[in-house]
Amino acid sequence: MIRVVVAGASGWVGRALVGAIIAAPDLELVGAVSRSAAGQDAGEVAGGSRAGIALVASLAEALAGPGDVVIDYTKPLVVKGHVLEALAAGRHVVVGTSGLAAADYAEIDMAAQAAGCGVIAAGNFSITATLLKRFATIAARHVPDVEIIDYASAKKPDTPSGTGRELGEILSKVRLDPTAKPVSELGGIRETRGGAVNDGGIAVQVHSVRMPSFVLSAEAIFGLPDERLTIRHDAGSSAAPYVGGTLLAARRVVGTTGLVRGIDHLID
């Protein structure tokens, strides 16, 4: 039985995770964190029956009890601190919160290695979003020019989304030299060409759209003379697509040491 703490348990994905963990025969919910819902029963907050687990206001309170894995679906400003705090307590971590940069992940990897624990982090835990990354990585090895458009709701606090950032970082490592004129050589308003995302390779321009009616979408656009390829992922209004991948990561992270980015290898 894997004992799980959910941070962000009253959030959109967190509520769905709590219900799924309670229903899973091989997982046990031992803690749930939500500052806004502290004191309430985790099962009832998730829309189900009482679970006998009261939500607490801080991760430190949840870490005072037993546990094997912390799943974090909180906010960009607190997630890194949560991960380092959980690792220091000897817990494995699954990170579903976006907003971390490559340098943050490098620090997390060092902390995980030192603690002898595993961290699995993904900008998007849905299977179709994972396939977007895989197909786009194949295309980037053959088509030099690629850009990413990242769509999310008007209230999303970080830009680009974790999906868009992670996709850009992955493609930067494998893409070919682009034929488009470098942004540094452009006139006018250069910011309209998006932001450069890079993780040790050739930067990829990412354009973020934030407006009502979008939940989360990402598309990679590849161009050659007289032809174009678009690979796109669209999320619906339910958190269900993220639950399966997150729980798969929770089951696998206990056998991991150090940081793993994405769930690509988990779905094979």
pLDDT of residue 63: 98
* Cα 264 to Cα 268: distance, rounded to the nearest angstrom: 7
Helix H segments across the chain?
12-23, 42-45, 59-63, 76-88, 102-115, 127-140, 162-174, 240-253
Domains of the chain: 2-121+238-266 (3.40.50.720), 127-235 (3.30.360.10)
pLDDT of residue 265: 80
The answer to whether 195 and 226 have CB atoms below 8 angstroms apart is no
* Cα 226 to Cα 98: distance, rounded to the nearest angstrom: 36
pLDDT of residue 255: 92
pLDDT of residue 268: 67
- Residue of 17, 130, 2 lying closest to 73 (CA atoms): 17
Strand order through the sheet with 92-95: 27-33, 2-7, 69-72, 92-95, 118-121, 258-261
Phi, psi (deg, nearest 5) at residue 77: -75, -20
- Tokens for 84, please give them: 């380092």
pLDDT of residue 99: 84
pLDDT of residue 267: 74
- Tokens for 250, please give them: 């929770």
User: Which residues of the chain have a pLDDT value below 50?
Assistant: none
Phi-psi region of 263 (alpha: psi -120 to 50; beta: other; left: phi over 0): alpha
* Cα 31 to Cα 46: distance, rounded to the nearest angstrom: 13
Residue indicated by tokens 């992955």: 170
Exposed / middle / buried, residue 142 (Cβ in 10 Å: 0-12, 13-18, 19+): exposed
Strand order through the sheet with 145-152: 195-197, 204-210, 145-152, 216-224, 227-235
pLDDT of residue 211: 97
Q: Compute CA 206 distance to the chain's CA centroid, rounded to the nearest angstrom.
A: 17
pLDDT of residue 241: 87
* Cα 40 to Cα 34: distance, rounded to the nearest angstrom: 9
- Tokens for 61, please give them: 């309170």
